[in-house]
Amino acid sequence: MRIVYVVVLVTAIAAVAIDHLSSPASDGTGTREDAAAARTHE
Amino acid sequence: MSGMLAIDSATTSVPAPARDWPFLALATGATGVFVALVLLDGQPRSALLILCGFALGAAFLKAEFGFTAAWRRFLAGRDSGGLVGTLLLIALSAVVIVPVAALVPGYGGAGAPLGASLLVGAFVFGIGMQLGNGCGSGTLYTVGGGSGRMLVTHAFFIVGGVIGSLQLPFFLALGGFDPPLASDLLGAWGGLAATLASIALVAGVVIALARRKGVNFVPSVTMTIGAVVIAALAIATFLTAHHPWSVTFGFTLWGAKIAAALGYDFSAHEFWQWPGPQHALSTSVLRDTTSLTDFGMILGAMAAAAAARPFARAAWPPARSLLAAAIGGLLMGWGARLGFGCNIGAFVSGVASGSLHGWVWFAAALGGCAVGMRLRPWFGLSRV
């Protein structure tokens, strides 16, 4: 189980870092869960 | 003499709790990497959200604060201690969330429409809670705590969330209406009074049910301390993010990002064309406020677990239990999207915002839990 954890964690950390570094620079706005209700709320 | 020897022998044979340095280093190191990335991006608030999540993960783990078993104990024998602890957390959070959301520009509460989507989503989520053995926050902190079973639940939670996101527009089209927040009707302080009164009313009902059956209705000291600490951190998260704490949109976003990386095109799906989800999918996951606290929670729980004992040493559970974890995760993910969140995003944050949808979510999810409890023995899980 420890090996599974290490593989999952290292993969996830790398994926997050790659996603972050390859994304456009921040426009200063965050996103939020109840954006799921965007149709009715935003 | 022999008795003393026996005591000495017993004392020396108990090993001291051992820190798991590799996992402690991994958890704190990953947290440091994420904090550094958002700081380099000029987002100090995002760094604070990661740290809030980190503290939440540690607090949940240490207090063993959970919804799933507490709701099961209430449904099975009317033991209300866990439910009362949850209501304490909500009431403390509401004291800040209701007035700040109403009075301070830039802040908002958690609201969602009442309709078939909410009812179906929350009910299915409740079934999933009992099969998956956790809710949104429970999944995060137990995954962080080293549970292999919850890794399975979490993976399928993510898949279910993506499927739910594709179907949410259909369920919303079935109809519903947006209830006003209590503060919209009664003003900031009147709304707070109404919110606290509603919490007191529900607490009174569950306590009365417990007393009638002669069972416990007082939360444990650990749970009470946990509720106070978690409420303080939920408030800190709200003040930093400018919206109440939520969990499950992050899971859905991670799944969509993975699917998009594998070549799936979300442009034909209405949900992912709405401003919020579209923005989240097109920018860094570290700019999604929900993901920031989620990452922090997993890593905080992992750090707390690894600081206290060897990490993830337990054997994998039986296959039937893993099947329940997969089904439960799938149902929770799907239900969370249709029901506008989980125990945190919909119930805790909804009620603490003075939104009626939080109570409707609670009632529907409790009904789902009752069904899920009946299904648990099929998978070799205890009914209570």
The predicted structure's pLDDT at residue A37: 44
The predicted structure's pLDDT at residue B216: 96
To the nearest whole angstrom, how far is the Cα of B181 from the nearest Cα of chain A?
12
**B62 has a pLDDT exceeding 50:** yes
Residues of B with Cβ-Cβ distance to A37 under 8 angstroms: 111-113, 340
Structure pTM?
A: 0.92
- Which segment of B2-16, B182-196, B276-290 scores lowest on mean pLDDT? B2-16
The predicted structure's pLDDT at residue A23: 85
- Could you report the per-residue pLDDT of A2-42, keeping only the tens digit for each? 999 999 999 999 999 999 999 876 555 555 444 444 433 32
- Res. B383 pLDDT band, cuts 50 70 90: confident
Nearest CA in chain A to B274: A38
- Residue B271: is it exposed, middle or buried by C-beta count within 10 angstroms (0-12/13-18/19+)? buried
Of A1, A9, A39, the CB nearest to B274: A39
| C-beta of residue B271 within 8 angstroms of C-beta of residue B252 | no
The predicted structure's pLDDT at residue B384: 82
| Residue A40: how many other CB atoms lie within 10 Å | 15
Tokens 């104990």, located at residue? B73
Terminal Cα-to-Cα distance of chain B (whole angstroms)? 45
| A3 CB-near residues (< 8 Å, 6+ apart) | none
Cα dist from B227 to A20, B54, B85, B88, whole Å: 34, 16, 6, 7
**B271 has a pLDDT exceeding 90:** yes
Task: Select from B337, B178, B146, B163 the least CA-distant residue to A33.
Answer: B337
Task: Tell whether A39 is within 8 A of chain B (Cβ).
Answer: yes
- Res. B16 pLDDT band, cuts 50 70 90: low
**B303 has a pLDDT exceeding 60:** yes
Nearest CA in chain B to A21: B284
Contact yes or no for A37 and B246 at CB 8 A:
no
The predicted structure's pLDDT at residue B23: 95
Nearest CA in chain B to A7: B26
The predicted structure's pLDDT at residue B200: 98
Question: What does pLDDT average to over chain B?
Answer: 93
Of A13, A26, A42, the CB nearest to B42: A26
Nearest CA in chain A to B39: A26
Contact yes or no for A30 and B248 at CB 8 A:
no
To the nearest whole angstrom, how far is the Cα of B2 from the nearest Cα of chain A?
42
Task: Tell whether A18 is within 8 A of chain B (Cβ).
Answer: no
| C-beta of residue B217 within 8 angstroms of C-beta of residue B81 | yes
The predicted structure's pLDDT at residue B14: 56
The predicted structure's pLDDT at residue B13: 56
| C-beta of residue B57 within 8 angstroms of C-beta of residue B45 | no
Mean pLDDT of B258-278: 94
Tell me the two tokens of residue B130. Answer: 């009992």
What type of residue sits at position B161? G
**B68 has a pLDDT exceeding 70:** yes
Residues of B with Cβ-Cβ distance to A18 under 8 angstroms: none
The predicted structure's pLDDT at residue B379: 96
**B12 has a pLDDT exceeding 60:** no
**B320 has a pLDDT exceeding 50:** yes
- Could you report the per-residue pLDDT of B144-189, keeping only the tens digit for each? 999 999 999 999 999 999 999 999 999 999 989 888 899 999 999 9
- Res. B15 pLDDT band, cuts 50 70 90: low
| C-beta of residue B138 within 8 angstroms of C-beta of residue B127 | no
SS (H, E, C) B146-169: CCHHHHHHHHHHHHHHHHHHHHHH
- Could you report the per-residue pLDDT of B331-348, keeping only the tens digit for each? 999 999 999 999 999 999
CA angle, B176 as apex, B274 and B170 as ends, to 5°?
50
- Which segment of B3-7, B157-161, B214-218, B352-356 scores lowest on mean pLDDT? B3-7
Contact yes or no for A16 and B34 at CB 8 A:
yes
| ipTM of the complex model | 0.86
DSSP H helices, chain B, are 2-13, 21-40, 44-63, 68-77, 81-103, 116-132, 136-145, 148-172, 182-213, 221-241, 248-261, 275-282, 289-308, 319-338, 349-352, 356-375
**B236 has a pLDDT exceeding 50:** yes
Give me the percent of chain B exceeding a pLDDT of 70: 96
- Could you report the per-residue pLDDT of B109-123, keeping only the tens digit for each? 999 999 999 999 999
